Structures are given as structure tokens and as C-alpha cells.
Structure 1
Amino acid sequence: MEIPLKKKNYAQKYRKEWESHAEFKSWLKPLVGDDTKAFCTYCKVELLAKLVDLRRHAETKKHKQKMQIISGNQIIQFKPDGE
């Protein structure tokens, strides 16, 4: 009887360059005190610093709703009466 080998999990460290990717640019930050985690500034949640987990989070309903709300908060300039 063969014993299956366990797949070794490694801890991916946060990469500063991810912040410049268009898909993460506005919401991804490092988690202070833990270089294996990231932080979503929109959802206020901690994420594992793995690219697949970050992309998966970006596709969640919660994150998309938060993005829509935040991007919808644009400054509207009103014209004074009489113009």
C-alpha cells in the first residue's frame, strides 16, 4: 500500500510590484506585521499573499460591490442657479 506524498505548502511573501498591476492598483496593500498576507482596502479583509488568492478575491461579489460603490463616489459639480 502506497502512502501519498504530501504536497509541501510554501508561504508566498507579499510583493510590492503587485500594487502597480492594473487589477490590484487601487485596493491592494501589504499587511503590516505579516509579510505572507495582503490587505484589501475596499473590503477591509486580510488575504494570503498568493496571486491566485488575490485574483480570486477580486472576483468575489463583495469586492465587486465595494469597488462599484467606491468608484461611484465621484465629485459632482453643481452649477449655481441662473446659469
Structure 2
Amino acid sequence: MAAKRSYRDAWLNNEDFRPWLSCVEDNPSRAFCKICKREVRAELTAIKRHKTTKMHSVYEASEQQEVQQERIPVHHGNYAANGVAVATVLFACFIAEHNLPFTTADHLVDLMKRMFPDSAIAQDMDMKRTKCTEVVRTLGRCVTED
């Protein structure tokens, strides 16, 4: 029977592994994929094989897409622009808190623009399903990390 392999910190020197690989604290014979949120055997061949799996590729592509998503800009000294950023975050939090479907954002923002035609913040607010999903996902990560 072959000896169990142990996780090696030297693997983090490899550019292919550094962004997503970490050790499992209580089990040195396992490694953890931060992208897929899965454990793999702490063997170099198993780690390389995991990197080439379809599941890992899909998760990695979606993570790169999240990084490229439009970030909510903060404008210093511009109340209306900051108000739009705050309104965007509050709106996304409302959708998540009340467990409403993200497709609600498609219609509710348009409704608010019609309801408040004199509000510069409402008129400048632009949020559809995909942006709402991304804001909730990003804020959710921040909230669960704290």
C-alpha cells in the first residue's frame, strides 16, 4: 500500500495553483480548492487533474467574470452619483432580505423611475437581474467573512 501524501506549501510557488489551492487544516493528506470549495487528495497528479476538470474550469471562468463585472463607482463630492451607488446597494439588499426573485429588479427599477420622475437618483439608477445578482453575491461574501 502506498504511503499517503501530504500537502506541500511549495505548491503555492506554482502560478497555476497559488490563486485557488490551500491546505486543509485538520487533514494534511488533503488540499482545498478555493474556487470549487472542494477537497482533493494532496498529490500533485490529483491536483493537476482537478485543475483540468470541467467543474473547476466552469467555476474559474465564472470567478473571472465576477472580477470583470462593473464595480459600483464612488464619486467624491458628487452627491447624486454617490446616492445612486447607495441606492443600488440598498435595493439589492432589499431584494435579498425579502427573498425576492432577481428578475424583480428588471421591473422595479423602471417602476421607481416612473414613480419618482423628479428624483435624479431614481433616474440615474440602472439595475437589472445580472447586476443585482452580482451585488448580492459580492455583499454576501463580505457579510459572511465578517
Shorter chain as normaliser: what TM range?
0.7 to 0.9
Q: Which amino acid aligns with 1:76?
A: E
User: Percent of counterpart pairs with the same letter?
Assistant: 27
Pairs within 5 Å for 1:1-83: 8-74=1-67, 75-76=69-70
Whole-Å separation in 1 of the counterparts to 2:7 and 2:61? 26
Deviations 1:16-70, CA, capped at 9 Å, x for gaps: 1111211111100001101111000111111110000000000000000000000
Alpha-carbon shift at residue 78 of structure 1 (Å): 7.2
Whole-Å separation in 2 of the counterparts to 1:52 and 1:60? 13
- Structure with a larger share of its residues in helix: 2
Which runs of 4 or more aligned residues in structure 1 lie more than 3 Å from their structure 2 counterparts after TM superposition?
77-81
Please tell me the root mean square deviation across aligned C-alpha atoms, in Å: 1.9
Distance verdict in 2 for CA 1:77–1:43, change over 3 Å: closer
For normalisation by structure 1, the TM-score amounts to 0.79
Residue 5 of structure 1 aligns with which residue? none
- Structure with a larger share of its residues in strand: 1
**Structure 1, unaligned stretches of length 5 or more?**
1-7
Question: May I ask how many residue pairs the two structures share in their alignment?
Answer: 74
Residue 3 of structure 1 aligns with which residue? none
Q: Which amino acid aligns with 2:5?
A: Q
For normalisation by structure 2, the TM-score amounts to 0.46
Alpha-carbon shift at residue 77 of structure 1 (Å): 5.2
